[in-house]
Structures are given as structure tokens and as C-alpha cells.
Amino acid sequence: MNALAVLPPLRQSYEGGTAADTHRDLRALLEDAIVNAPRSLQRTIGPSEIGTDCEHCLAAKIAGWEQTREGVAWLPFVGTAVHAEHERLVIEHENRRTCGNTTGSRRYLVEERVNVGTIGGVEISGSCDLFDIATGTTVDWKITGATTLRSARSGPSPVYRVQAHLYGRGLAAAGHTVKHVSIVYLPRNSAGGWADAVLWSEPYQEQIALDALARADRLHTNMTALQAGLGDQARDAWISSLPRAAGCYSCARYPDFPTPAADATLGGLLTPPTRAGPPDSNPPTPEGAPPCPPPPRTAS
């Protein structure tokens, strides 16, 4: 018997059904792929999370806590799709410019994998969206809604800024000359495209990356010591007691939400964590304690 005769047909035969059947099956196929994409399942901390101003979520991520997944992450998928198209277009441009010579001189590196540093002795790596060798500039695409686009005009969030400098550090460690880091905020819902984009850049500063890595490493050291001395439950209780950033979306995805009341130092076993950014000038009064008296007036 011919070996080809036992193979299934290349195309399925008509079986009947409705357009609703097609839509149902396609939705199941695509949503399953989005939910189970490697990026969606990632539990190891990456450069995009190290700079978060939420102490709790940074520690939870370092500890490998699993986040609950609520539905299909459609908006991040749209961003991933735009990233993929940017990558394809830049590679095609470079191929045309070098006449297909893969060993020719190339200006742009896209989705370049870099090691940005270590946390707890473990190498942290990520992919830089684009690096312009000619100007020494990193580019990070952010596909955003109108609210983020407006706030970006005042500068990037701490987590985005740290991410940019971490990629710069990774590229510098790989032997590239890095002079500038940049973020390109592109509108997700505007027809203007680049005309409505917000462009941010600043000189590359390795110290920003080093400070963020050191902060994460301190958390890792505390958690490791606590886990070794008192076990996982004590470590997890300490993580739950850490300060949470106002408006943090990630907090609700962890199993310890809402926040339990606890002592962040566990009775003095650990040094209190250091907040990212300036301290709160009006810290909350502990429950049951009398309000703090107002500062004395100074004579004018």
C-alpha cells in the first residue's frame, strides 16, 4: 500500500453547521492560545517588573507566587501583536538595506536577549524591543490607552524607567555602546499612530539599574533567611505585610488579597523594607492610637 494512502486528507470535508459554530471554535482556539502563551504563564521576575513601586508585589514575584488569571488578557495580547509586527518590519528593512546579507552591517537590533543583572545569584534576562547601534539608543514600545498616554507626558512610571535602564545595562554588558534609553508610547485607540505618540528619553544611567537590582536583592535575602529559619508560612506572612503601592493592579491578583494586618518586621526579625521613592509625608495613624499632634508653630 502506498504510504500516502494512510495519511489523513489535507483538508477536512464539509460537515454542516452554522457560523456560530465557527465563531465558538475559533474563540476557544485563540483564547486558549492567549491564556497559555509563555508570557502569560511566566512566574520568574523579569526586567519589566523589577522597578515596581509596590514592595508587596515585588517580593511576591521574587518568591514565585502565582497570580490568578482573570479572563483573557486581550489588551496585552494586542500589545504583543504590535511588538511582533514592529519586529517583522524592522527586520525586513534591515534585510533590504543589506541586500539580504546576514553578515552585513546592521543598524537595528530587535528583540535582543540580554542579561540585566542578578537577584539572589540568579541571572535576570529579558528582550529589549529595539536597540539603535548608530546612536546607542534603546527603544521600548508601549502600546497604551488614552489614560496612560496622557500620564506619559509627565514622564514614565518608575517601573518603566527602571526597565529602560535595565535593558541599557544588559546591552552595555554585551559590549554595546549605550548612550540613551527611550520609551515610545503608541496609542492603542487612536488613528493618529506615531503622530499621537509620546516619546521619552534620557541619558543611560547604570546606577538606576543597580539600585533597583539591589532593592530586589535585599528582599530576596530577607525572604531566604526567613524561609530558612521559620519556614514558608512565615515568609509568606511577611510578604503579605509589606507596603502596597496605591492603585496597584497586581495586588488583587495574588492569593493574599485583601491585605491582612501584620507587623512588617515580624517582631524585629528583619529590617523594615525600604520603599521606592520618597516616604509618605502623612503616614496613616495605627488603629487605636491617638492622632499625632500638629507640628509646633514657628514665630513669623
pLDDT at 66: 86
Query: How many CB atoms are closer than 10 A to CB 230?
Result: 14
Identify the residue whose cell numbers are 465558538.
Answer: 24
Give the C-alpha separation, 273 to 24, whole Å: 49
Helices (H) and strands (E) counted in the chain, each on its own, are 9, 5
- The label of the residue with cell 521574587 reads 62
Q: What is the pLDDT of residues 162-203, one digit of tens each?
A: 999 999 999 999 999 999 999 999 999 988 889 999 999 999
Amino acid identity for residue 275 in this structure: R
Per residue in 246-276, pLDDT (tens digit) is 988 888 888 888 755 444 444 444 554 444 4
Of 240, 244, 241, nearest in space to 275 by CA: 244
Q: What is the dihedral of CA 112, 131, 207, 44, to 10 degrees?
A: -30
Decide which of 282 and 221 is more confident. 221
Stronger pLDDT, 90 or 191, i.e. the higher one: 90
Residue 292 has pLDDT above 80, yes or no: no
Question: In 3-state terms, what secondary structure has residue 116?
Answer: strand
Give pLDDT, residue 100: 65
**Do residues 91 and 201 touch, judged by C-beta distance below 8 A?**
no
Q: Which domains does the chain have, with CATH numbers?
A: 73-205 (3.90.320.10)
State residue 2's pLDDT score.
64
* Three cell numbers, residue 72: 483573557
Q: Locate cell 549605550: which residue?
A: 178
